[in-house]
Structure 1
Amino acid sequence: MTQPIDVSVPHKLGREEARRRIAANIGSLQRHIPGGAAVTSNWVGDRLDLGISALGQAVDASITVEDTAARVHVELAGMLGMLAAPIAAAIKSKAPDLLEDKTKA
């Protein structure tokens, strides 16, 4: 049984700029996950598919970029489902970081 998490991150960047910023910042995702996470990513159109491994657990996630929002979807399997609320809170807190423009100093 899996526990899904869905979080919408609103933005005013437009689809292309939001996609560019997420692509530029996705490497920082690893430092937000405890236990030395490994993250793989693959773009399929405007959806970024993610594979996240940490602390012996594997999680599938995706970020779908739309004109006014980025929609984060995470599937928590097994015992991770019990942590859905704090994981959702962490996503809501940290997901906007993916939309920051880090090319400007």
Structure 2
Amino acid sequence: MPNPTVIDIPHNLGREEARRRMAKGVGKLASHIPGGAATVTHSWPSTDRLALTVATMGVEVPCTVDAEEERLRVTLELPGMLRLMAGPIAAIVKSQGERLMLSDGTAKASRLQS
């Protein structure tokens, strides 16, 4: 079995808000994948784990995203030749994940009110 590619995306949102943003953004994920012909299927096997399969150009990439208190942990199972591109793929995933975690200003206001 190949070694998974693990990407940590730090945040200061707390687990619940990170999970909310993941749920809000998962429907837009396919539009962020280069090539424009990707499909994304997803499920929530547990409260804090999002399981995804990204399919494009005949290749499927299973992955999980675990919401933790101070980070998202993304685990990609890159098949075959995509393993050679693990570094650039990880950089794109991290960049997009950081944008997702920063994309909603309402969390800061609601946390300050708590």
Q: CA deviation at 1:91?
A: 1.0
Tell me the number of residue pairs that the alignment of Structure 1 and Structure 2 aligns. Answer: 104
Distance 2:45 2:104 in 1: 22
* Structure 1 residues 1-105: aligned runs within 5 Å: 2-35=2-35, 36-45=37-46, 46-99=48-101, 100-101=103-104
Distance 2:7 2:105 in 1: 23
Pair 20,40 (structure 1): closer, same or farther in 2 beyond 3 Å? same
Q: Which has the higher strand share?
A: 1
Paired AA for residue 90 in structure 2: A
Paired AA for residue 15 in structure 1: R
Distance 1:103 1:29 in 2: 21
- Per the normalisation by structure 1, the TM-score is 0.89
Distance 1:14 1:63 in 2: 15
Unaligned runs of 5+ in 2: 108-114
Local SS of the residue matching 1:70: strand
Paired AA for residue 11 in structure 1: H
Paired AA for residue 92 in structure 1: K
Q: Percent identity?
A: 46
Q: Which has the higher helix share?
A: 2
Larger of the two Rg values belongs to structure: 2
Paired AA for residue 34 in structure 1: P
Distance 1:32 1:3 in 2: 25
RCO higher in structure (CA 8 A, sep ≥6)? 1
RMSD over equivalenced CA pairs, Å: 1.8
